Structure 1
Amino acid sequence: MNNVLFALIQALKTLFHPRMLSLVLWPMLVAIVLWAGAAMLFWSNWVNDMTGMMQATPLEQWMAQGYFAVASHYLIVIILLLLLLPSIYVTALLITAIFAMPMMVNHVAGKYYPRLERKQGGTNAGSIANALVAIAVYCAGWVLSLPLWLFSPLALLLPLVLMAYLNQRLFRYDALAEHASKEEYAQVMERASMKLYLLGLIVALLQFVPVLNLFSPVYVALAFIHLCLTELKELRQSV
């Protein structure tokens, strides 16, 4: 728990460095532009597809009745918006992980962990594969859990659990790729698994805070860099 708190505090300090501030907004802005463009092109298709999906369920008769037919249209729009907002946030996280992580790792390691040897156990192919797995599992979780969101108190918990998974899975590999060997990476994952999920859960709350969620992808990445490098440092000191 101490390392998680340390990572959160250090990430906040690091965030205000000029080099990090230069990264803060553009991942989210790029994600917004991409999804806004997609919505302009495909919104009517999305509405039609969602309507078809709902009509294939027991809700079909309810949707066909006068007032309810109008209400169902707004329900479909709300569902699409609920899908669009996390899609924007996840895209911003992915952009940060792919394009900004190398610069952030170099900055954090050079300033806070200058004596930590770089064993370069990670690869570009490993980074891409890790990101694809993270996104695939997250999206599958979203789709499979949608019925529970509508009819269960788990609707408040599921987004946090899914985002906690995505955060730790998406950033842990790149945070350690330069410094840890393959064996050390596996050892850090084993000893710090609960800490990674806890950090992922805490920073997942940021996506629900207006304005702050514009800045959070870079902050989240920095927090995982600090936590992972601290765990690697302690692992080496314990040997």
Structure 2
Amino acid sequence: MSDIIDALLGAAKSLFHPKILAIVLWPVVFALLLWGALAWLFWADWLSVLNGWVQPAELWLDQYNFAWMASMLSVTLLVLLITPLALTTALLVAAVIAMPMMVRHVAQRDFPTLEYKHGGTVLGSILNALIAVVVYIGLWLITLPFWFAAGLGAVFSLLLTAYLNQRLFRYDALADHASREEFDMILEQSGGSLYGMGLILAFLHFIPVINLFSPIYTGLAYIHFGLNKLQKLREMQK
């Protein structure tokens, strides 16, 4: 747990450096503009498709004088679909575009003696991101019917976002510095901590205003955690 706290504190310190502040809003602004434009263009079409899917449920609700609820069902489902897609987009931008610059920044300031072994590749980063997104969206669609049960929606949302956080950022955090063997060792030794930190950070994605900074902050936290673990691993092997 102390390693997670150290990473979160280190990320908070790095977040307020001018270089990081200059990019901190890019992922969220891009995601909002993208999905806002798509919603404006295709809202009616998407709603029409969802109306066809939920029509049996709407008819059933209408029988019991819940017509108001039936009319809101498609809109609610559409919002539930767009929200994780917008979050995924923001995290992807942070992971794919911003991470290389953030890794260099943190390494130079906090881990200047850490040797580069370049165990990761650009192709590996892209493949890792694709796997993370496909699994996340797949699990999200599978669990969607349970989101209307009391409290389960929030639980599933946090657990799935925790998965997305750790899967997206752990590779890029270590790609430049760790060898493939070192990456596997850190993943084996700290898999639970990586997911636990992802769960803590997942809460930030759903807090207004704070979520504007959370994609970049999440990336910084995984960089601090990963490089700190790598440094300790190499010290133990000496």
Offset of 1:154 from its aligned partner? Answer: 2.2
Residues 198-229 of structure 1: CA deviation (Å, up to 9, x unaligned): 11000000011100001111000000000001
Cross-structure match for 1:71? 69
Aligned counterparts of 1:86 and 1:48: Cα–Cα separation in 2: 20
Offset of 1:70 from its aligned partner? Answer: 4.5
Offset of 1:60 from its aligned partner? Answer: 5.0
- What RMSD, in angstroms, separates the aligned Cα atoms of the two structures? 1.5
Aligned counterparts of 1:144 and 1:79: Cα–Cα separation in 2: 14
Residues 116-155 of structure 1 correspond to what in structure 2 (within 5 A)? 116-155=114-153
1:134/1:196 Cα in 2 relative to 1: closer, same or farther (>3 Å)? same
Is the CA contact 1:62–1:69 (under 8 Å) kept in the aligned structure 2? no
Cross-structure match for 1:83? 81
Is the CA contact 1:47–1:77 (under 8 Å) kept in the aligned structure 2? yes
Is residue 201 of structure 2 the alignment partner of residue 203 of structure 1? yes
Aligned counterparts of 1:47 and 1:198: Cα–Cα separation in 2: 36
Offset of 1:63 from its aligned partner? Answer: 5.0
Is the CA contact 1:12–1:219 (under 8 Å) kept in the aligned structure 2? yes
TM-score, with normalisation over the residues of structure 1? 0.95
Aligned counterparts of 1:159 and 1:137: Cα–Cα separation in 2: 14
Cross-structure match for 1:7? 7
1:195/1:164 Cα in 2 relative to 1: closer, same or farther (>3 Å)? same
5+ residue gaps, structure 2 = none
Residues 99-153 of structure 1: CA deviation (Å, up to 9, x unaligned): 1000000000011001100000100000000000000010011100011111254
Is the CA contact 2:58–2:67 (under 8 Å) kept in the aligned structure 1? no
| AA in 1 matched with 2:235 | Q
Cross-structure match for 1:183? 181
Cross-structure match for 1:94? 92
Aligned counterparts of 2:63 and 2:27: Cα–Cα separation in 1: 44
Is residue 172 of structure 2 the alignment partner of residue 167 of structure 1? no
Cross-structure match for 1:53? 53
Offset of 1:46 from its aligned partner? Answer: 1.0
Aligned counterparts of 2:151 and 2:24: Cα–Cα separation in 1: 34
SS of the counterpart of 1:192? helix
Offset of 1:84 from its aligned partner? Answer: 1.7
Residues 147-184 of structure 1: CA deviation (Å, up to 9, x unaligned): 11112542221111100000000000000000001111
- Percent sequence identity over matched residues? 49
Is the CA contact 1:51–1:76 (under 8 Å) kept in the aligned structure 2? yes
Offset of 1:96 from its aligned partner? Answer: 0.7
Is the CA contact 1:164–1:201 (under 8 Å) kept in the aligned structure 2? yes
1:66/1:41 Cα in 2 relative to 1: closer, same or farther (>3 Å)? farther
5+ residue gaps, structure 1 = none
Aligned counterparts of 2:213 and 2:65: Cα–Cα separation in 1: 41
